[in-house]
Amino acid sequence: KRNPYYQYFCGYSNYMPGMPCNATELVHFRKRIGVEGFNLIFKMSVALHGKQAQESSVLIDTTVQEKNITYPTDAKLAIKIINRLNKLAKRHGIKQRRTYVKEVKNCRLSIRHFRHVKKRAKAKKALTRLRTIANKLIRELQRKLPTHSLFETYQKDFLFYQQVLAQQPKDKNKIYSLHEPDVYVIAKGKDHKQYEYGNKVSIVSTKDTNIIVGVASHDKNIHDSKTLTVAISHANSNRNKPIKQAVCDRGYVGANIILPKKALKRDNRYQRDKKRKLCKRRAAIEPIIGHL
Protein backbone atom coordinates (compact mmCIF):
# COMPACT_ATOMS: atom_id res chain seq x y z
CA LYS A 1 0.00 0.00 0.00
CA ARG A 2 2.78 2.46 0.87
CA ASN A 3 5.11 1.58 -2.02
CA PRO A 4 4.02 0.86 -5.63
CA TYR A 5 7.47 -0.58 -6.45
CA TYR A 6 7.03 -3.19 -3.72
CA GLN A 7 3.64 -4.11 -5.17
CA TYR A 8 5.20 -4.57 -8.61
CA PHE A 9 7.91 -6.73 -7.03
CA CYS A 10 5.19 -8.93 -5.48
CA GLY A 11 3.58 -9.50 -8.90
CA TYR A 12 0.90 -6.80 -9.19
CA SER A 13 0.61 -5.10 -12.59
CA ASN A 14 -1.73 -2.31 -11.37
CA TYR A 15 -1.48 -0.18 -8.23
CA MET A 16 -3.83 -1.30 -5.42
CA PRO A 17 -4.74 1.35 -2.80
CA GLY A 18 -6.17 -1.23 -0.35
CA MET A 19 -5.17 -4.52 1.16
CA PRO A 20 -5.17 -7.50 -1.26
CA CYS A 21 -7.13 -9.69 1.19
CA ASN A 22 -8.45 -9.83 4.70
CA ALA A 23 -5.91 -10.76 7.36
CA THR A 24 -8.11 -13.59 8.66
CA GLU A 25 -7.92 -15.31 5.26
CA LEU A 26 -4.21 -15.92 5.83
CA VAL A 27 -4.99 -17.40 9.25
CA HIS A 28 -7.55 -19.80 7.78
CA PHE A 29 -5.12 -20.70 4.98
CA ARG A 30 -2.37 -21.58 7.47
CA LYS A 31 -4.74 -23.74 9.47
CA ARG A 32 -5.97 -25.58 6.37
CA ILE A 33 -2.56 -26.55 4.98
CA GLY A 34 -0.99 -27.27 8.38
CA VAL A 35 2.66 -28.14 9.00
CA GLU A 36 2.84 -30.62 6.10
CA GLY A 37 1.60 -28.02 3.66
CA PHE A 38 4.17 -25.49 4.80
CA ASN A 39 6.97 -28.04 4.51
CA LEU A 40 5.88 -28.81 0.96
CA ILE A 41 5.84 -25.12 -0.02
CA PHE A 42 9.25 -24.58 1.59
CA LYS A 43 10.71 -27.64 -0.18
CA MET A 44 9.48 -26.33 -3.54
CA SER A 45 11.02 -22.90 -2.88
CA VAL A 46 14.38 -24.55 -2.14
CA ALA A 47 14.15 -26.68 -5.30
CA LEU A 48 13.74 -23.54 -7.44
CA HIS A 49 17.39 -22.62 -6.76
CA GLY A 50 18.70 -25.86 -8.26
CA LYS A 51 22.36 -26.68 -7.63
CA GLN A 52 22.95 -23.46 -5.69
CA ALA A 53 20.94 -24.89 -2.79
CA GLN A 54 22.90 -28.16 -2.76
CA GLU A 55 26.09 -26.93 -1.10
CA SER A 56 27.69 -29.35 1.33
CA SER A 57 28.65 -26.56 3.78
CA VAL A 58 25.96 -24.56 5.58
CA LEU A 59 25.71 -21.81 8.17
CA ILE A 60 23.45 -22.37 11.20
CA ASP A 61 22.30 -19.93 13.83
CA THR A 62 19.32 -19.40 16.15
CA THR A 63 17.13 -16.35 16.62
CA VAL A 64 14.06 -15.40 18.62
CA GLN A 65 10.71 -15.27 16.84
CA GLU A 66 8.88 -12.71 18.96
CA LYS A 67 5.13 -13.04 19.36
CA ASN A 68 2.69 -10.17 19.04
CA ILE A 69 2.03 -9.81 22.78
CA THR A 70 2.24 -6.94 25.21
CA TYR A 71 4.93 -6.78 27.88
CA PRO A 72 3.70 -9.41 30.37
CA THR A 73 2.92 -8.44 33.94
CA ASP A 74 0.77 -10.15 36.57
CA ALA A 75 -1.56 -7.15 36.73
CA LYS A 76 -2.20 -7.14 32.98
CA LEU A 77 -3.02 -10.84 32.98
CA ALA A 78 -5.40 -10.47 35.93
CA ILE A 79 -7.22 -7.53 34.32
CA LYS A 80 -7.58 -9.44 31.04
CA ILE A 81 -9.02 -12.42 32.89
CA ILE A 82 -11.56 -10.18 34.65
CA ASN A 83 -12.61 -8.60 31.35
CA ARG A 84 -13.00 -12.00 29.72
CA LEU A 85 -15.15 -13.29 32.56
CA ASN A 86 -17.41 -10.21 32.45
CA LYS A 87 -17.85 -10.63 28.69
CA LEU A 88 -18.66 -14.31 29.16
CA ALA A 89 -21.36 -13.51 31.71
CA LYS A 90 -22.85 -10.80 29.50
CA ARG A 91 -22.83 -13.07 26.43
CA HIS A 92 -24.88 -15.77 28.17
CA GLY A 93 -27.12 -13.42 30.14
CA ILE A 94 -25.80 -14.37 33.58
CA LYS A 95 -26.64 -11.82 36.26
CA GLN A 96 -23.57 -11.01 38.36
CA ARG A 97 -23.47 -9.63 41.85
CA ARG A 98 -20.69 -7.23 40.86
CA THR A 99 -18.57 -6.59 37.79
CA TYR A 100 -15.83 -4.70 39.72
CA VAL A 101 -15.26 -2.35 36.77
CA LYS A 102 -14.61 0.78 38.86
CA GLU A 103 -12.49 -1.03 41.43
CA VAL A 104 -10.35 -2.61 38.70
CA LYS A 105 -9.74 0.86 37.26
CA ASN A 106 -8.56 2.16 40.66
CA CYS A 107 -6.30 -0.86 41.14
CA ARG A 108 -4.78 -0.28 37.72
CA LEU A 109 -3.90 3.30 38.70
CA SER A 110 -2.33 2.11 41.96
CA ILE A 111 -0.16 -0.48 40.17
CA ARG A 112 1.31 2.22 37.92
CA HIS A 113 3.56 3.26 40.83
CA PHE A 114 4.92 -0.25 41.46
CA ARG A 115 8.55 0.88 41.14
CA HIS A 116 8.19 3.81 43.54
CA VAL A 117 9.61 2.98 46.96
CA LYS A 118 6.94 4.71 49.05
CA LYS A 119 4.01 3.36 46.99
CA ARG A 120 5.23 -0.18 46.43
CA ALA A 121 3.14 -1.61 49.28
CA LYS A 122 0.01 0.01 47.87
CA ALA A 123 0.77 -1.44 44.44
CA LYS A 124 1.25 -4.97 45.85
CA LYS A 125 -2.04 -4.65 47.70
CA ALA A 126 -3.77 -3.64 44.47
CA LEU A 127 -2.29 -6.64 42.63
CA THR A 128 -3.51 -8.99 45.36
CA ARG A 129 -6.96 -7.43 45.12
CA LEU A 130 -7.06 -7.98 41.33
CA ARG A 131 -6.28 -11.67 41.80
CA THR A 132 -8.99 -11.92 44.46
CA ILE A 133 -11.56 -10.30 42.16
CA ALA A 134 -10.67 -12.65 39.30
CA ASN A 135 -11.00 -15.72 41.55
CA LYS A 136 -14.35 -14.46 42.84
CA LEU A 137 -15.70 -14.07 39.31
CA ILE A 138 -14.46 -17.55 38.37
CA ARG A 139 -16.22 -19.15 41.37
CA GLU A 140 -19.40 -17.21 40.67
CA LEU A 141 -19.55 -18.34 37.06
CA GLN A 142 -18.76 -21.92 38.08
CA ARG A 143 -21.82 -21.84 40.35
CA LYS A 144 -24.18 -20.27 37.81
CA LEU A 145 -23.04 -21.89 34.57
CA PRO A 146 -24.36 -25.42 35.36
CA THR A 147 -27.89 -24.00 35.18
CA HIS A 148 -27.09 -22.88 31.64
CA SER A 149 -25.51 -26.26 30.65
CA LEU A 150 -22.24 -24.48 29.78
CA PHE A 151 -20.08 -25.64 32.67
CA GLU A 152 -18.18 -28.31 30.74
CA THR A 153 -17.63 -25.95 27.82
CA TYR A 154 -15.78 -23.34 29.87
CA GLN A 155 -14.32 -25.48 32.65
CA LYS A 156 -11.01 -25.80 30.77
CA ASP A 157 -10.77 -22.00 30.49
CA PHE A 158 -11.49 -21.57 34.20
CA LEU A 159 -8.70 -23.98 35.13
CA PHE A 160 -6.35 -22.10 32.79
CA TYR A 161 -7.24 -18.76 34.42
CA GLN A 162 -6.69 -20.19 37.90
CA GLN A 163 -3.26 -21.43 36.84
CA VAL A 164 -2.33 -17.94 35.60
CA LEU A 165 -3.51 -16.28 38.81
CA ALA A 166 -1.65 -18.76 41.04
CA GLN A 167 1.77 -18.49 39.40
CA GLN A 168 4.58 -16.80 41.32
CA PRO A 169 7.58 -14.75 40.05
CA LYS A 170 10.09 -17.59 40.47
CA ASP A 171 7.94 -20.37 39.02
CA LYS A 172 9.04 -22.29 35.94
CA ASN A 173 7.02 -22.67 32.73
CA LYS A 174 5.03 -19.51 33.42
CA ILE A 175 2.22 -18.27 31.17
CA TYR A 176 2.96 -14.84 29.73
CA SER A 177 -0.05 -14.38 27.46
CA LEU A 178 -3.63 -15.62 27.41
CA HIS A 179 -3.90 -15.92 23.63
CA GLU A 180 -0.31 -17.24 23.22
CA PRO A 181 0.19 -19.62 26.18
CA ASP A 182 3.17 -21.36 24.53
CA VAL A 183 5.34 -18.24 24.69
CA TYR A 184 8.46 -18.45 26.85
CA VAL A 185 11.05 -15.88 27.88
CA ILE A 186 14.50 -15.89 26.26
CA ALA A 187 17.52 -13.93 27.49
CA LYS A 188 19.99 -13.37 24.64
CA GLY A 189 22.24 -10.92 26.49
CA LYS A 190 21.34 -7.90 24.36
CA ASP A 191 21.97 -4.49 25.86
CA HIS A 192 18.87 -2.84 24.42
CA LYS A 193 16.52 -5.78 25.09
CA GLN A 194 17.27 -7.95 28.08
CA TYR A 195 14.38 -10.37 27.60
CA GLU A 196 12.43 -11.45 24.53
CA TYR A 197 9.11 -13.26 24.51
CA GLY A 198 8.46 -15.81 21.79
CA ASN A 199 10.10 -19.05 20.67
CA LYS A 200 13.55 -20.03 19.46
CA VAL A 201 14.03 -20.73 15.75
CA SER A 202 17.00 -22.30 13.94
CA ILE A 203 17.95 -20.98 10.49
CA VAL A 204 20.10 -22.99 8.03
CA SER A 205 21.56 -21.26 4.97
CA THR A 206 24.13 -22.26 2.37
CA LYS A 207 27.67 -20.98 2.95
CA ASP A 208 28.34 -19.26 -0.39
CA THR A 209 24.96 -18.53 -1.99
CA ASN A 210 23.08 -17.55 1.23
CA ILE A 211 19.95 -19.59 0.41
CA ILE A 212 17.82 -20.63 3.37
CA VAL A 213 17.43 -24.41 3.12
CA GLY A 214 16.16 -25.29 6.59
CA VAL A 215 14.03 -23.81 9.38
CA ALA A 216 13.15 -25.41 12.72
CA SER A 217 10.98 -24.02 15.52
CA HIS A 218 11.57 -25.18 19.10
CA ASP A 219 8.84 -25.46 21.72
CA LYS A 220 11.24 -25.07 24.65
CA ASN A 221 14.14 -22.76 25.43
CA ILE A 222 16.87 -25.35 25.00
CA HIS A 223 20.60 -24.88 24.49
CA ASP A 224 21.74 -24.09 20.94
CA SER A 225 23.78 -27.28 20.72
CA LYS A 226 20.63 -29.36 21.25
CA THR A 227 18.83 -27.61 18.38
CA LEU A 228 21.41 -28.63 15.80
CA THR A 229 20.11 -32.13 15.06
CA VAL A 230 16.58 -30.93 14.29
CA ALA A 231 17.83 -28.09 12.08
CA ILE A 232 20.15 -30.32 10.03
CA SER A 233 17.51 -33.04 9.59
CA HIS A 234 14.97 -30.49 8.31
CA ALA A 235 17.54 -29.05 5.88
CA ASN A 236 18.46 -32.54 4.61
CA SER A 237 14.78 -33.33 4.00
CA ASN A 238 14.56 -30.37 1.61
CA ARG A 239 17.69 -31.26 -0.39
CA ASN A 240 19.11 -34.13 -2.40
CA LYS A 241 22.66 -33.70 -1.11
CA PRO A 242 23.44 -34.29 2.60
CA ILE A 243 25.19 -31.68 4.73
CA LYS A 244 28.88 -32.43 5.39
CA GLN A 245 29.96 -29.30 7.27
CA ALA A 246 28.04 -26.94 9.58
CA VAL A 247 29.63 -23.63 10.55
CA CYS A 248 28.23 -22.23 13.81
CA ASP A 249 29.09 -19.73 16.52
CA ARG A 250 30.38 -20.45 20.02
CA GLY A 251 26.87 -20.97 21.33
CA TYR A 252 26.96 -24.45 19.81
CA VAL A 253 29.95 -25.64 21.85
CA GLY A 254 29.34 -29.19 23.02
CA ALA A 255 27.87 -30.56 19.81
CA ASN A 256 29.85 -32.83 17.52
CA ILE A 257 30.24 -30.32 14.68
CA ILE A 258 32.92 -28.25 13.04
CA LEU A 259 33.38 -24.89 14.75
CA PRO A 260 35.62 -22.19 13.29
CA LYS A 261 38.57 -22.31 15.68
CA LYS A 262 41.83 -20.44 15.99
CA ALA A 263 44.74 -21.66 13.92
CA LEU A 264 47.08 -24.11 15.68
CA LYS A 265 50.87 -23.97 15.57
CA ARG A 266 51.08 -27.24 13.68
CA ASP A 267 48.69 -26.03 10.95
CA ASN A 268 50.13 -25.16 7.59
CA ARG A 269 49.32 -22.01 5.62
CA TYR A 270 46.35 -23.59 3.84
CA GLN A 271 44.74 -24.81 7.08
CA ARG A 272 45.17 -21.42 8.76
CA ASP A 273 43.62 -19.57 5.83
CA LYS A 274 40.73 -22.03 5.66
CA LYS A 275 39.87 -21.57 9.36
CA ARG A 276 40.17 -17.82 9.03
CA LYS A 277 37.75 -17.78 6.11
CA LEU A 278 35.27 -19.93 8.02
CA CYS A 279 35.38 -17.51 10.95
CA LYS A 280 34.66 -14.59 8.64
CA ARG A 281 32.02 -16.40 6.63
CA ARG A 282 30.02 -17.49 9.69
CA ALA A 283 28.82 -13.92 10.24
CA ALA A 284 27.05 -13.94 6.83
CA ILE A 285 23.95 -15.51 8.37
CA GLU A 286 23.40 -12.58 10.75
CA PRO A 287 22.10 -10.10 8.12
CA ILE A 288 19.98 -12.91 6.61
CA ILE A 289 18.24 -13.34 9.96
CA GLY A 290 17.86 -9.57 10.25
CA HIS A 291 15.95 -9.42 6.96
CA LEU A 292 13.48 -12.17 7.88
Q: Which CATH class is domain 51-68+197-291?
A: alpha beta
Give me the tens of pLDDT residue by residue for the chain, a chain 292 residues long. Answer: 567 888 888 788 888 888 878 888 988 999 999 989 999 999 999 999 989 999 888 999 999 999 989 999 999 999 999 999 999 999 988 899 999 999 999 999 999 877 788 888 999 999 999 999 999 999 999 988 877 677 788 889 999 999 999 999 888 889 999 999 999 999 887 788 888 999 999 999 998 899 999 999 998 888 888 888 899 999 999 988 888 888 888 777 765 555 556 666 777 877 777 777 877 888 888 888 888 7
Map residue 65 onto helix, strand or coil. strand
In degrees, rounded to 5, the angle at the alpha carbon of residue 221 between the alpha carbons of residues 250 and 279 is: 15
Measured distance CA(282)–CA(292) in Å, rounded? 17
For residue 249, the model assigns a pLDDT of: 82
For residue 130, the model assigns a pLDDT of: 96
**Where are the domains positioned within the chain?**
51-68+197-291, 74-169
What residues have CB less than 8 Å from 107, skipping those under 6 apart?
75, 126, 127, 129, 130
Measured distance CA(278)–CA(264) in Å, rounded? 15
Which one-letter amino acid corresponds to residue 130?
L
